[in-house]
Structure 1
Amino acid sequence: MDNTYNWYPVCTKSRFEKKAYDELLRKNIIAYLPLKKTLKQWSDRKKIVEEPLIKSYLFVYISTKEYGEVLITNGIARFIYFAGKVASMPQRQIEDLKLLLANDSDLEVFEFDIQPGEKVLIKAGPFKGMIAEAVSLYNKQRIILRLENMGLSININTSMAFIESLKD
């Protein structure tokens, strides 16, 4: 077994993201659950609550010898597989996700893979240094950030003046 630590996306049971995250932390497993603030309306009040950014997903920082411990955690359903093996994510993508959430930006998550478009580098603003794919939606210019190996994309607003093409 490999002692190298990597970030791995894991699927949780429906609406078990926070419970599974807490259970992983109790087991001293490093985990990350990206949360977004959402305004909820009830019949008698409004309240800002934190919800998972990506439903039924969280991320664990483990070595392969800890796969079993993660899988027996209450609320964890399975690891995500890509090309026949457990998918891992680069540290940079976790850092980028944390950066996106730290900026309280208007984020939209798509649960489908967007077809590859032109690769761009965001050269200014709160997303500086990120590589993304440019997509035009609803007559507005928007940037789609793809999370590799997960089939998910995040849609953010940023000025097209902050973008530089990465074409060869």
Structure 2
Amino acid sequence: MNWYVVYTKPKWEKKVAERLNQIGIECYCPVITQIKQWSDRKKKIEGPLFNSYVFVQLLDMDRNAVFQVAGVIRYLFWLGKPAIVKDEEIAIIKKGLSDSNVSDVSVTAFQVGDRIKLESGVFSSQNAIVQEISNTHYILVLESLGCVLKIKYK
């Protein structure tokens, strides 16, 4: 069985995960505890690590079952197919969040100017600088090769 990523309504992640479990679909909604401060008090709040995402593990033929739950919008797609998350990646997230030495966790997207290392594809192990981000593509500068790489996504 594969792990898929389900996109939910904003702030519905924990509700969706609970309801998916109730109908027998194995799911995982990684949560973190943060201290929020208002002008008059501080409070510990448990929120999702990934906003609007819940991981579900099921067979490919059972994928439509998640739409029985209110709050589920769609699956996350990568290169025209539903995004599949490896078991090892889910295990890494679980282990990282259960580690008592970790005090602050956050997820951020790439920003213009970030230096990254490409992990797959033809340019695997090349260092790049993010030059531009749009709704359809990234433009990366590969300094060591003296070229600009445009990566389209859907």
TM-score range relative to shorter protein: 0.5 to 0.7
**Correspondence list, 1:70-109, <5 A:** 70-103=66-99, 104-109=102-107
The structural deviation recorded for 1:111 is 3.1
**Correspondence list, 1:55-66, <5 A:** 55-66=51-62
**Correspondence list, 1:12-27, <5 A:** 12-27=8-23
Instruction: Tell me, in whole angstroms, the C-alpha distance in 1 between the residues paired with 2:96 and 2:118.
Output: 21
Alignment CA distance shift 1:112-1:27 (3 Å): farther
Q: Cα RMSD over matched residues?
A: 2.5
Alignment CA distance shift 1:115-1:62 (3 Å): farther
Instruction: Tell me, in whole angstroms, the C-alpha distance in 2 between the residues paired with 1:69 and 1:115.
Output: 40
Instruction: Tell me, in whole angstroms, the C-alpha distance in 2 between the residues paired with 1:44 and 1:116.
Output: 41
Alignment CA distance shift 1:6-1:19 (3 Å): same
The structural deviation recorded for 1:71 is 2.1
The structural deviation recorded for 1:44 is 4.3
Match of 2:30 in 1: 34
Instruction: Tell me, in whole angstroms, the C-alpha distance in 2 between the residues paired with 1:30 and 1:111.
Output: 27
Instruction: Tell me, in whole angstroms, the C-alpha distance in 2 between the residues paired with 1:111 and 1:96.
Output: 19
Percent of aligned pairs with the same residue?
A: 35
**Correspondence list, 1:3-18, <5 A:** 5-18=1-14
The structural deviation recorded for 1:82 is 1.0
Larger Rg: 1 or 2? 2
The structural deviation recorded for 1:118 is 7.0
Instruction: Tell me, in whole angstroms, the C-alpha distance in 2 between the residues paired with 1:71 and 1:115.
Output: 38
Instruction: Tell me, in whole angstroms, the C-alpha distance in 2 between the residues paired with 1:75 and 1:92.
Output: 27
Whichever residue aligns with residue 46 of structure 1, its letter is: K
Match of 1:67 in 2: 63
Question: In the comparison of the two structures, how many residue pairs are matched?
Answer: 118
